[in-house]
Structure 1
Amino acid sequence: MNKKPVRTIAFILFLCLMQINVYSQTKVGTWREHLPFSHAICVAEAENKIFCASEAGLFLYNKSDNSIETLTKIKGLSDNLISTINYSNNFNTLIVAYSNGNIDLVSDYSIYNISDIKRKDLSGSKKINSILFIDNYAYLGCDFGVVVLDVDKKEIKDTYFIGEGGASVKIFDMTYDGTYLYAATEIGIYQADINSSNLLNYQNWHRFTNLPIYDKSFNTITFFNNKIFANYSAEQTDSDTIYVYNGTSWNYFDTTITTTNALDNYYDNLIVVENWHVDVFNQANERIRHFSTPESKHAIIDKDDILWIADYQEGLIQNEESWHKLVICPNGPIDTKVFDMVCVNENLWVASGGRTGIGGNVYNTAKAYSFIEEKWTSFTEKTIPEIADIRDIVNVAISPNNTNKVFLGTWGYGIIEFNNNAFTKIYNEDNTDNALQNISNLTPHAYVRIAGMAFDNNNNLWITNSSVQNPIAVRKANGDWLNYNFQNQISNIVIGNIIITQNDDKWVVLPRGKGLFVFNTNNTIDNFSDDRYKKISLLNDKGKVIANEIYSIAEDLDGEIWVGTDMGVVVFYNPQNILSNNSYYATQPIIEVNGNAQYLLSTETVSAIAVDGANRKWFGTQNGGVFLVSEDGEKQILNFNVDNSPLPSNNITSISINQNTGEVFFGTSSGIVSYKSTATKGNKDYSGVYVYPNPVKPNYDGLITIKGLVADVNVKITDISGNLVYETNANGGEAVWNGRNFSGNKVHTGVYIVFCTNEDGSQSFITKLLFVN
């Protein structure tokens, strides 16, 4: 058995010494989660605290002072995608179970991980669906059977495969009547005497056959008022049925149920949790409470007769009386879905829609969210009724001249405009002089597919309008609209994202192996006759196709074009010559990994690219997590994945960087996290330079950051006598120091001088730093 050591949960305190952005003072290397705690699935009581679990993480509500604390992988949990929780009063321990079979025991602000199930060689799912406490043991209902956990010894005691012949059976829930264990499974309800000498023998588990539908799925079960209550989960319709077992026979309890998610007994109350309401029954089977919810998943009643509900849309709901409702939830996005992210001047916007791999709709309801001034705001049909009929928001463009003006592109429904976080209008074929086009004339406003958007330096918004005759559209700075067809070279095909380069070339991704399309309008948007354009493939210097499928594209600070493909990374080193020269080729950077030279990420599908202030490249992949490489792509600096970082998934869908703070946002298939990197955008002068922390106190052992520098300057740090203790070059506008001299020793108490100089010596600056040991 592999027992991991106890890990202390880190509670980070921020010391603000100057009037600057709070997060800019956070240590380099710090992670933050940006997760939808509103997707609550389970709730548990612990003395004067309520634990609420979402799939993305856990939060604790303190009833004494109304405070909220979050607990995620960043703060000590071992994994992502929580499946259920339960609290043991005997051991003052919260068990957190995960969809991959991992287990955390949380108690006294420490976390003990038991990974036996996760590591076990089992075919199929290892998800833990329920936790039942009996004496010193927790009985875990899993997708393959029952696992018995000794809570006191913190180890797995037994595993029961209860199906015919010892086969795996999916266990959704379990209960106990003092003598018998009951398991609600995918193929009926099983019973076993807990005092049996051998519960490892499947023959000691008996399936009830005196139920009307005895071999079907039962998803939840509980013991209440000396009876067993179990819910038959209808396969295709919202017509569940609750049955009651009196020790002899099964009878109907309620056949008017739609979809029941949980049955529980708390303080002699039967709680029935359905999709859109929670009912409470007394021992006379009388309904004594009925409370409507947006999407309830689980509920408990505490000793004060307060109802606590885990709701999948709102988070934790407190209900004292039928009329009272208090929603408790940490701030965060409303969903884990991320298709596109854009950050401009510290304003981050996220599109959470999607499309299929072949360019079809997935019909996700319209959702977008912004992260501005440390607060997440969500935009849905609930908050904006005008977008109720819209689906699949897939891209974002933020005006560089006015970051309050934001455009959201949809896969089929045109473009939504926001101003100051308020809905303005929807653009489609009707109000753009048909500059935006619809694939089908039979269904207005339903097939205006926006594949990408980007602003040029003149504040014109360029748009790729997929699968139509004139697939490139532009909304000019004055609000007028135009479109282009470029002699039908890319007409009526699926097209993808668009970027605009420093020399005003537009690069368009052509999916399905069709390469790239490059065009330039020569700064004469209204004059089509002088436009230059070319359709290109990813060919190397020998004319051989390097890769077919393109997933991402970005321009770096030197004007080079980096392309993410299904076979790694491809670079155009002289892209400004593409339109004027018939001879062009792309290059695969070569990187050394573990002593072996290989093409950069050649075994990965590169789904996202972002360039930081030091011109380093951040690559997101579909299966390998995130890679940070040097400016030239020849050195790997970092690789983050679910095993070595707080990334919730190795499937990276988007990367965006706050260039002012160096915070890198990773959009994944399971939500957003961010990482404070060492690079920021370089400044034109030194007017914004500051050092943090300053002073450096005795207990501080992290990196010291010098921020607000001119790009890539040389930084020398000396003691007050002029002795050099450290030297480095800035990453863009930021340099870091570990507080140690060239010998690796921590420097002594005193004032240290920071000298900053650009390459030719024309711009220099001096600042001071105090160490206190």
Structure 2
Amino acid sequence: MIKKLFFLSILCSLPFASQSQGLESWNAYPSYSTINSITLNEGEIFSATLGGIFSVENGEISHQLTTLDGLYRSNPTTIIADTDNNRLIAGYIDGNLDVIDLETNEVERIEDIKRVSRFNSKSINAFQVYENRLYVATSFGIVVYNLQNLFVENSFLQLADFDIGVQVNDLDIVSDTIYAATVQGVAYGSLNTNLVESDNWVNYTEAEGLPANSVQEINFFNSQINVLIDGSIYTQENNSAWTLHPEFPASGIRSFQKSMSGQELGAASASRLTIIDTEQNSESINLSLESSITEMRFDSERIFLGTTNEGLVVLENRNSNADFYLPSGPYLNFFGNLQVEDNILIGTSTTSFPSADAFAFLRGYYIFEDGLWNNFNRNTNPALNNTAYAFSVGSNDSSYFFGSWGDGIIKHQKSTNEITQYDRSNSSLLGIDENPNYVVISGLDDDSENNMWAVSYWAEFPLYVQLNETEEWIPFRGRAGSSLYFNLFIDSFDQKWISLVNSDNVGQGLLILETGEPTDPNDDRSVRLSSAISNGNLPDDKINAFIQDKNGEVWIGTGRGIARFIFPELIVEGGPEERQAQWLINEDTTAASRFLLRDVNVSTMAVNDANQKWIGSVNQGIWVLNDEGSRIIKRFTTENSNLISNNIESISINNETGEVFIATDLGLVSYLDIPKAPVKSMDKLKVFPNPFNYAKHSRIVVEGLSESTQIKVLGVDGIVVNELTAQGGRISWDGFDYSGNRLGTGVYFLIAYEDSGRETGVGKVVIVK
């Protein structure tokens, strides 16, 4: 089968901060490749994906909705069209509903199910629209909404003899009878009775011949109940025995649905469709897919399929070629470690200690350059056929490096895109003690000579180096006793900072290694630090992140807060005092703790050109700290911003533009921050908005600054009305004078001086009071 692939380069997929993204605004980089649910509205096909919602109409991608457009979360579990009211309804794992007006794209949030306190799990699993009502299958029963006013009209919590609050996975409604697939069997009842009363429901379980109690999907077709159980379709014959449906494959079914007319029933396996009609006529369609089918919808001619990583597949008729629709973006909606270099974002699609899942062999890496996502994994590149779980990342002048979980190191040549894989078969790399062929590369970083260093987790030789422009990996024996190397960071003095964990991923402190001449193991020196007051005073023995700031200080993020080493170059050769970690002191003397962010489980850190620190955490969002780490400048969570998850995996900053890339467990977003890289030589400053009006604007932005500058603001009479201090190439100012008062209407000059005092940049702004 020939594929036709339709991509759309959309605004939210532009590479780095564009003119459309204003300062201090958010951008989303979703993957729409994995589809959870499909619905149709007057010929428009809507797909709910891990990254949001998109639609196809007349062969073109039309609607695209993400959290930045008002969606509650990035991954709706199910969607359905309310065609009478031209709306789309999306459900989520925690019970929230989004009702989307398809004319205005306005989103109304319905939280009745989420607010339920009686049951812990409140996931929305399926929808049915019937006679102007929305029937919602939840993990605690069925909830019924009136679609005219979106009020809850009823809830069915006990279905005959099933437990109260039984999980309902799917629904079907035919001729005023509702059929429910639950984890305890099948239930059905007449809508003409009071279904709040459990006696008005009928159950089928294993006791009544059902092959198993947990039912995934249900369809009433041709006067028979049909259910999907563990990949097989069973049908009830003559209201008694349950047997395998003779017209469908015996196993491997991913989805089965009725046609929109109700006259056909279709089943989809990984790449094969089987469709029968009411006369039991059957047809099969084989597809050429690189992924598996997740969802199926069809009418008398067209077939619509959701896939695990190829987006939406449409067959305009049953004999046609498949059309593939997928908005431009990353291959998967999973991100691990990020790194920005020369306006190019590279990243992996998992973090450490991955677990097996349906995407295991597709968790490769991304290179995002000039507005294009280049996705590298087993499906996209034959050179990666033997690689899975890329999660650590590094780069030098010539190549990108990616560490994998079990498959060694991937070297990606920047100029040619040539890929080389190093593992036990073609290099000196040794893997874990139990299986030396299983090479886990948990840390990568380059030194000042462009040599690439790698940590081989739980291995006899835990550290390796590949000298610049060579292919050999030189091994180093461990210097930390029984503890295990994990994360790796190399500072500006070429010292290796290595976090230590045991086999249960419990922190064992920090190793700082000075290797001297890389080929000579005899000149190596090291020191091991811990949370002991007399030996490092680390906030915690689990070290998760490292950065070196503009002042040369090395900061560590731990399972219980942050500390810094002011003179890292003295740690190895110095004494206990030089090795003492400095915890962050809160400048707010009224705070509950004198230590800033003392109990935060830090997952990642980054530093911008104003020497401010971005701190990501496990399930607590993001903090931005001033250069000294004594004050919180900004705080981002899902509650107060467009951050899509509070669980932060990685942060990396493009200092050329100020765009901060944030990998979360739900996908990738970015924030366009004010600080950016300084210019090499100041001249004319860019000042905007210009004119500045207090009634319309909140700040004046000044661009084109050197590394460290002082700015004097003068009126036309030459009197200085304010002075500003800037780190990096861009700052903002509220337009007030020394005393915090608004300035009068007029022209004001901004004169920037470098630290040396030399006047180097001039700009002006018109202020309207």
TM class, shorter-chain normalised? 0.7 to 0.9
Task: Name the residue aligned to 1:552.
Answer: 545
Distance 1:681 1:337 in 2: 29
1:181 is the counterpart of 2:173: no
Distance 2:331 2:50 in 1: 12
In structure 2, do the counterparts of structure 1 residues 277 and 256 end up closer, same or farther at CA, with 3 Å as the change threshold? closer
In structure 2, do the counterparts of structure 1 residues 156 and 590 end up closer, same or farther at CA, with 3 Å as the change threshold? farther
- What displacement does 1:537 show? 2.2
Matches within 5 A, 1:648-727: 648-686=644-682, 690-691=686-687, 701=697, 704-717=700-713
Instruction: Check conservation: 2:219, 2:257, Cα contact below 8 A.
Output: yes
Partner deviation per Cα, 1:639-686 (whole Å, 9 max, x = no partner) = 222222333322212111111111111112222111111222333322
Task: Name the residue aligned to 1:478.
Answer: 469
Of 625, 628, 632, the match for 1:636: 632
1:370 is the counterpart of 2:367: yes
Task: Name the residue aligned to 1:764.
Answer: 760
Matches within 5 A, 1:236-251: 238=231, 240-243=232-235
Distance 1:480 1:260 in 2: 45
Of 248, 251, 261, the match for 2:255: 261
Task: Name the residue aligned to 1:140.
Answer: 136
Distance 1:205 1:32 in 2: 48
Q: Which letter does structure 1 place at the counterpart of 2:39?
A: A
- Tell me the TM-score normalised to structure 1 length: 0.87
Of 547, 567, 580, the match for 2:560: 567
Task: Name the residue aligned to 1:90.
Answer: 84
Task: Name the residue aligned to 1:3.
Answer: none
Distance 1:358 1:379 in 2: 20
Pairwise CA RMSD: 3.4
Task: Name the residue aligned to 2:600.
Answer: 604
Q: Which letter does structure 2 place at the counterpart of 1:119?
A: R
Task: Name the residue aligned to 2:121.
Answer: 125
Distance 1:260 1:485 in 2: 49
Distance 2:482 2:533 in 1: 28
- What displacement does 1:713 show? 2.1
1:324 is the counterpart of 2:314: no
Task: Name the residue aligned to 1:37.
Answer: 32
Task: Name the residue aligned to 1:412.
Answer: 406
Distance 2:39 2:573 in 1: 67
Q: Which runs of 5+ in 2 are unaligned?
A: 1-9
1:525 is the counterpart of 2:518: yes
> Per the alignment, in what secondary structure is the counterpart of residue 23 of structure 1?
coil
Instruction: Check conservation: 1:25, 1:693, Cα contact below 8 A.
Output: no
Instruction: Check conservation: 1:31, 1:676, Cα contact below 8 A.
Output: yes
Distance 2:592 2:538 in 1: 24
Instruction: Check conservation: 1:173, 1:221, Cα contact below 8 A.
Output: yes
Distance 2:708 2:426 in 1: 47
In structure 2, do the counterparts of structure 1 residues 630 and 233 end up closer, same or farther at CA, with 3 Å as the change threshold? same
- What displacement does 1:251 show? 5.9
Of 501, 509, 520, the match for 1:515: 509
1:459 is the counterpart of 2:453: no
Distance 1:275 1:746 in 2: 68
In structure 2, do the counterparts of structure 1 residues 25 and 647 end up closer, same or farther at CA, with 3 Å as the change threshold? closer
- What displacement does 1:438 show? 3.4
Partner deviation per Cα, 1:50-108 (whole Å, 9 max, x = no partner) = 211013311122327x2433211111112343110000111211111001100011113
Task: Name the residue aligned to 1:199.
Answer: 195
Instruction: Check conservation: 1:460, 1:476, Cα contact below 8 A.
Output: yes
Instruction: Check conservation: 2:351, 2:649, Cα contact below 8 A.
Output: no
1:52 is the counterpart of 2:42: no
Distance 2:743 2:527 in 1: 58
Q: Which letter does structure 1 place at the counterpart of 2:114?
A: K
Distance 1:383 1:165 in 2: 47
- What displacement does 1:558 show? 1.1
- What displacement does 1:173 show? 1.0
Distance 2:29 2:419 in 1: 27
- What displacement does 1:629 show? 1.3
Distance 1:483 1:199 in 2: 71
In structure 2, do the counterparts of structure 1 residues 682 and 537 end up closer, same or farther at CA, with 3 Å as the change threshold? farther
- What displacement does 1:439 show? 3.7
Of 168, 172, 183, the match for 2:165: 168
In structure 2, do the counterparts of structure 1 residues 715 and 44 end up closer, same or farther at CA, with 3 Å as the change threshold? farther
Instruction: Check conservation: 1:620, 1:653, Cα contact below 8 A.
Output: yes
Is 702-711 or 539-548 further displaced after alignment?
Answer: 539-548
Instruction: Check conservation: 2:553, 2:564, Cα contact below 8 A.
Output: yes
Instruction: Check conservation: 2:168, 2:182, Cα contact below 8 A.
Output: yes
Distance 1:717 1:229 in 2: 78
Instruction: Check conservation: 2:683, 2:762, Cα contact below 8 A.
Output: no
In structure 2, do the counterparts of structure 1 residues 743 and 633 end up closer, same or farther at CA, with 3 Å as the change threshold? closer
Instruction: Check conservation: 1:739, 1:747, Cα contact below 8 A.
Output: no
Of 285, 291, 294, the match for 1:290: 285
Task: Name the residue aligned to 2:56.
Answer: 61
- Tell me the TM-score normalised to structure 2 length: 0.88
Task: Name the residue aligned to 1:6.
Answer: none
Instruction: Check conservation: 1:728, 1:735, Cα contact below 8 A.
Output: no
- What displacement does 1:763 show? 5.1
Instruction: Check conservation: 1:607, 1:622, Cα contact below 8 A.
Output: yes
Instruction: Check conservation: 1:473, 1:481, Cα contact below 8 A.
Output: no
Distance 1:503 1:288 in 2: 69
Is 102-111 or 503-512 further displaced after alignment?
Answer: 503-512
Of 267, 273, 293, the match for 1:272: 267
Of 340, 343, 358, the match for 1:343: 340
- What displacement does 1:689 show? 5.6
Instruction: Check conservation: 1:278, 1:296, Cα contact below 8 A.
Output: no
1:534 is the counterpart of 2:531: no
Q: Which letter does structure 2 place at the counterpart of 1:579?
A: V
Distance 1:134 1:746 in 2: 62
> Per the alignment, in what secondary structure is the counterpart of residue 599 of structure 1?
coil
- What displacement does 1:408 show? 0.8
1:501 is the counterpart of 2:491: yes
Distance 1:21 1:642 in 2: 22
Q: Which letter does structure 2 place at the counterpart of 1:502?
A: S
Partner deviation per Cα, 1:253-307 (whole Å, 9 max, x = no partner) = 335242232323313332323333333333323234625243222222358x322
Distance 2:521 2:167 in 1: 64
Counting matched residue pairs gives 738
Partner deviation per Cα, 1:475-494 (whole Å, 9 max, x = no partner) = 112315463546x5236742
Distance 1:391 1:643 in 2: 35
In structure 2, do the counterparts of structure 1 residues 567 and 189 end up closer, same or farther at CA, with 3 Å as the change threshold? same
In structure 2, do the counterparts of structure 1 residues 280 and 712 end up closer, same or farther at CA, with 3 Å as the change threshold? farther
Distance 1:199 1:77 in 2: 32
In structure 2, do the counterparts of structure 1 residues 251 and 582 end up closer, same or farther at CA, with 3 Å as the change threshold? closer
Task: Name the residue aligned to 2:4.
Answer: none
> Per the alignment, in what secondary structure is the counterpart of residue 213 of structure 1?
coil
> Per the alignment, in what secondary structure is the counterpart of residue 82 of structure 1?
coil
